[in-house]
Amino acid sequence: MKKVRVIIACIMVFGLLLTFQNVGAAPPETKDKAADVKKAATDAKKPAEVKDKKADPAKTDPAAKLVYHGNKNSKVYHAPGCKDYDCKNCTEKFASKEDAVKAGYKAHNCVK
């Protein structure tokens, strides 16, 4: 008789654990609605982003994209794609190699 009570108590505890495990979870229809709202918000932003890209000449002109970063401590400038291009001391920005040289910077070996 004692074993039966222990088994029943275990089943009840297990059932309660399963019940409380799902208390914090949102119902399935709520998850779907939240995903739909998020998707709609993302879709609404897309046309504005496309307009901004077309309006910005720096993004359409390949020559305007190229920006050299200069290390203010070592006075060395780096080209995009260099492993040191985004170092913490590379705070100076130059539109061309000539601008960097005029400012007293020398080329890193990544600059071709």
- The per-residue DSSP string of 35-76 comes to HHHHHHHHHHHHHHHHHHHHH-HHHH-HHHH--EEEETTTTE
Query: Model's pTM, two decimal places?
Result: 0.43
Q: What is the rounded average pLDDT for all residues in the chain?
A: 74
Tell me the average pLDDT across 95-111: 92
Half-sphere exposure in the Cβ direction for 39 (13 Å, CA): 6
Highest mean pLDDT: which range of 1-10, 21-30, 58-67, 88-97: 88-97
What confidence score (pLDDT) does residue 58 get? Answer: 44
Tell me how many degrees the CA angle 24-25-26 measures, rounded to the nearest 5. Answer: 120
Q: Which amino acid is at 87?
A: C
Tell me how many degrees the CA angle 57-62-67 measures, rounded to the nearest 5. Answer: 90
Greatest Cα pair distance in the chain: 95
pLDDT band at 49 (very low <50, low <70, confident <90, very high): very low
Tell me the average pLDDT across 1-23: 74
Segments making up each domain of the chain, as ranges: 64-107
What confidence score (pLDDT) does residue 38 get? Answer: 64
Q: Higher-confidence residue: 33 or 68?
A: 68
What confidence score (pLDDT) does residue 99 get? Answer: 93
Query: Residue 71 phi/psi, 5° resolution?
Result: -80, 115
Tell me the average pLDDT across 5-21: 75
